[in-house]
A and B are shown apart, each in its own frame.
Chain A
């Protein structure tokens, strides 16, 4: 992300901001266009987890922290992410 931001000549946090906007618009369009189904739901969930990790690493600054704190947001995203994914998968069976 840092290398790409240097290539584009913008701050890493600005690049992250633009990626977050793009991913949010993608999720919105998926809903707006009426796409549904397990694959679509899991894709939207995955995009949300990526956005959460970007916020944790770059906005909250956990990407530059050593030890367990670095994984705080990842663990928080992982546990509900798995549970939500599991519940939606079961709803299609």
Chain B
């Protein structure tokens, strides 16, 4: 299973084992769990954001801000889910720049909705 790309660069010799397809450092799994943690943090921030948008009663501006926050959360959830499914491969591909951009922009947009709710 170990292709030529599997040769480690700069990290000492790796022990040979029968199931060499699995990374002994569990890097894909750790990255998957990092995505899950980040999704959880995004959920908490979204709950606070929606609560902030709606705490002065239901008005049109608050409803729009809350809906935008939920849209950001859904966007983040979507890219995180797609990335988590690709990370089940033993040698996952590099993160696509579009995925990184969507995740970062959803976070920034969530904060900007919050600015609108605070001011």
- Are A and B co-members of a single complex? no
A interface list, Cβ under 8 A from B: none
B interface list, Cβ under 8 A from A: none
